[in-house]
Structure 1
């Protein structure tokens, strides 16, 4: 009787694991299908892309990528996105880390609420006022204007990611550093920041990704000199037709750096978010 019960439990456990695996496979397949379809179409000719039924076995062509890096000069747009993403992330860290520490140390809940409201307000709300201000100052189509506007997305996120980390650090550590003769700023830099490394890495990566994918501010404030990769995709869309091959190849070029960054740093991002949630 006991053996039969254990055998039945093993069968039920096996069936449960099988159902879980099938459900997981279905979710992964559903999520990866658009990306795989994009990659396949990036190596097809325009006629092969629109052909029905679609071809899964075909002779790949590199003409679309040659168009992206040759005629469209996508390397310039990638460089622009790197400069703007890195700039907005670095400045966001310089402002956001002290702000988050102040909120965590002195329990400034009202300030935290204001920052949260700024994050929840749609970015398009700030678009027209910012455009008027930057146009008046002659800063349209400059890296400075794009970096500052991209900070509207990254800065509140950095603050809210870092607050739980700073709250988890015992005050006794900074107080001991002050007793030993360190200033409050030096205690923050030498004691608090090294202990918050996973959170800083997480906030930096996600802030950069948000800036890399930002489209709304770039399409209004950028022009030919500072155009970023999401906006540059519009080069493949005209009034008469859409270059689907070039569009797919450009989308692959835009997606791969972010995908590679996510794969390489996923353990740090997960560790940072989980540690902040648990300690906070």
Structure 2
């Protein structure tokens, strides 16, 4: 029996290693490519042994103004996530407390509908009111997906909290709003952190809405990657350096807050 368990353990480890390689190889290749010149990237010889260069990163910041693009992405991501939380948390609590299942189903449908379906209406609307190439249009567009996402995640968290906690707070003199802010919201904080991070990641990586609604002033990082592509050539080194810059903040945030993400996902999967 022990020999069989050891065999299954080794097989499991082998599968884990294969999965890790399949996921990590593109990322490692991207990082290595960001330190190569164009000839080294296109060559199949000495893929791991080469003389590294920082020219790609210098080009990204000196020639393509990536600091401004990063600022735009941070502004849009943070503000859209903040307002999605302000609107989404009370909505999720109301749906969970009063069993408003039909509203929850409508929000799920809104979450499932592809974002591309809203692009033309959004563009026509914002063009009419002069909001194209503004932070306002991008923030509202990103909230279109981030808000239903936060609501749907937080419903399960609030449903897992016992109603007796709010009732005890009401007995002590709290209003419904005060009980929500002081009692229920702190208890659901793992879910708040988890949904916030995932909504911010969506906004950070969003390409479609920014392609239509942004301009020279509000261009975000995913759109800025186009600067490395032309009709006759693709600057692979600069493209990979830009991809590393886009990916690195998300990885840092995930590593710092991984404890809360794991706790939030686990808590949200179990209802009381």
Q: Size of the alignment, in residue pairs?
A: 272
Provide the rounded CA distance (Å) in 2 between the counterparts of 1:11 and 1:165.
42
Deviations along 1:41-95, one digit per CA (max 9) or x if unpaired, are 1000111111133521000000000000110110110111000000010000000
Counterpart selection for 1:190 from 182, 195, 216? 182
Larger radius of gyration: 1
Q: TM-score, normalised by structure 1?
A: 0.95
Aligned match of 1:213: 205
Q: Which runs of 5+ in 1 are unaligned?
A: 1-8
Provide the rounded CA distance (Å) in 2 between the counterparts of 1:244 and 1:47.
10
2:267 is the counterpart of 1:275: yes
- Native 8 Å contact 2:38 2:236 kept in 1: yes
2:61 is the counterpart of 1:69: yes
Aligned match of 1:23: 15
DSSP-derived class of the 2:232 partner: coil
- Native 8 Å contact 2:135 2:218 kept in 1: yes
DSSP-derived class of the 1:278 partner: coil
DSSP-derived class of the 1:225 partner: coil
Counterpart selection for 1:149 from 128, 141, 154? 141
Counterpart selection for 2:237 from 230, 245, 249? 245
- Native 8 Å contact 1:161 1:273 kept in 2: no
Q: TM-score, normalised by structure 2?
A: 0.97
Deviations along 1:199-227, one digit per CA (max 9) or x if unpaired, are 11111111100110100000110011111
Aligned match of 1:164: 156
Provide the rounded CA distance (Å) in 2 between the counterparts of 1:176 and 1:48.
67
Q: CA deviation at 1:178?
A: 2.0
